Amino acid sequence: MGFTDTRFNVNLSILFTELPLLERPAAARAAGFTAVELWWPWVDAPTPERAELDALRDALRDAGTQLTGLNFYAGQLPGPDRGALSVPGVESEKFRANVPVAIEFATSLGCTTFNALYGNRVEGVDAAEQDALALENLVFAARAVGEVGGTLLIEALNAPESPACPIVSAPKAIEVVDAVNAASGLDNARFLMDLYHLSMNGEDLDEVIDRYTAQTAHVQIADNPGRGAPGTGTLDFVALLGRLKKNGYDGFVGLEYKPGEAPSASSFAWLPAPLRAAQ
């Protein structure tokens, strides 16, 4: 495959998971990657002990890997993705408690890009009530992120795998992005364009790229079907990433795919080693 000036990072919450968390940065670096992203690593702890934060920070630094993106607390991932920020009660409170902790951790590593994952619909709770709570919490996060000059990402998932998630299309995610920016007045919310999720939703990826690149601050990829590495499915990533570049996207492309049964390091044969280091 050929890519022109594409900057890749690797998601250490879905790749290299055959290794303990603290060993993954070094493994990614050994595979040639200098930039990484993470879901919130402590699914039961929005505010983990300082020693746990310090240990992961040291592992990233010692490996020579740059953290370029971090999810806020979203509960148990991988799926079915449920998020936290629109879930009334304890989950929403955990999200708010996590925001300053996540920002302090990420910014200590030079990272100012944060993904806030919308929550699933909750039985017995009015959808409008959840959406109002979500907007309140997203504005809270946008303001906190704004204090460090950062970007808040809003992601669309896919309906087949996350049927209870209300954001399962690019237009819906953009609607939320616009609502957060209008309510906060900061204009620091942006779209996270996950081409796997959008493909699973049956969206026209060329049209999504052409319409929404200007509002996109991060891109993630996995092939469809299967959520495997590029080349295991039917998506033409050379064309898709080329189209993104033509439309002005110059940010990172996150590798958020399942490596299959083999060790994660063996799943990168599709990507020449010189293209794995952040440019």
CA 30 to chain centre: 23
Q: Would you call 217 exposed, middle or buried from its count of C-beta atoms within 10 A (0-12, 13-18, 19+)?
A: buried
Beta-ladder partners of 215: none
In angstroms, rounded to a whole number, what is the distance separating the alpha carbons of residues 229 and 113? 24
| Contacting residues for 23 by C-beta, under 8 A, at least 6 apart | 16, 59
Considering the candidates 37, 91, 203, 256, report the single residue annotated as catalytic: 256
93 is catalytic: no
155 is catalytic: yes
Considering the candidates 37, 91, 155, 203, report the single residue annotated as catalytic: 155
- Which residues are annotated as catalytic? 155, 256
